[in-house]
Chains A and B, each alone.
Chain A
Amino acid sequence: QVQLQESGPGLVKPSETLSLTCTVSGGSVSSGGYYWTWIRQPPGKGLEYIGYTYYSGSTHYNPSLKSRVTISEDTSKNQFSLKLTAVTAADTAVYYCGRGGSSTWGAIDYWGQGTLVTVSS
């Protein structure tokens, strides 16, 4: 059973960089055909796609966030990470990591529980 767990600071100051890590168990980030994905949900709003890294090292980002986002893998730790620069209060959200499955056409079949990140001074 694949499990994902987000970790990182719960509070980030405006203009700084938000950094989160997703640790994967029961599966490998170096396995072919999976989309290791970040999604967020601002308070009172819907789900927003942030981006993914694919096993070959390729990435895809939401165009609205692309200039500030980096998603990368650390295969030695079986983790992938999210960095979001120059954050503002609008980046306050619950951040989820997930795995887009090769057998589900990329739809996210495994999710972390989510972690709340607040942007505030």
Chain B
Amino acid sequence: EAVLTQSPATLSLSPGERATLSCRASQSVSSYLAWYQHIPGQAPRLLIFDASKRATGIPARFSGSGSGTDFTLTISSLEPEDFAVYYCQQLATWTFGQGTKLEIK
């Protein structure tokens, strides 16, 4: 079973900056990977599935890339509402990474 490791644990950036979040799998998950945004007190929101496909209604500033064991979520220019916790999930055995907290610098 693939274990997902996200880095960094915390990322401190300012609005307008570019965010790059990493998710590494202990064994290949092909492109069966999703990314979610979770704001405390709200339900998580699906951002990306199949490693690079944006979910319905997700702004173009969110993009996903990678395959096999190394994946990246990029937010091209941070908006105030983007500061949240981000999780990757592999869709073979459904496990999540431990999350990256994106906080305002």
User: Which residues of A approach B to under 8 Å, CB–CB?
Assistant: 37, 39, 46-49, 52, 60, 62-63, 96, 104-109, 111-114
Contacts and interface: CB of A to CB of B under 8 A. Distances in A.
A112 B46 CA distance: 13
Contacts of A52: 94
A109 B94 contact: no
Given A49-B96, A60-B94, A62-B94, A107 B34 contact: yes
A111 B95 CA distance: 17
B43 A112 contact: yes
Interface of B: 1, 32, 34, 36, 38, 42-46, 49-50, 53, 55-56, 85, 87, 89, 91, 94-99
Main secondary structure of the interface of B (DSSP, over half): loop
Contacts, number: 60
A109 B46 contact: yes
Given A96-B43, A104-B46, A47 B55 contact: no
24 contacts: A39-B44, A46-B87, A47-B87, A47-B99, A49-B94, A49-B95, A49-B96, A52-B94, A60-B94, A63-B1, A104-B55, A105-B50, A107-B34, A107-B55, A107-B89, A108-B36, A108-B44, A108-B46, A109-B46, A111-B43, A111-B44, A112-B43, A113-B42, A114-B43
Most chain B CB atoms below 10 A, which of A46, A63, A107, A113 = A107
Contacts of B50: 104-105
A47 B34 contact: no
Given A52-B94, A63-B1, A109-B56, A47 B44 contact: yes
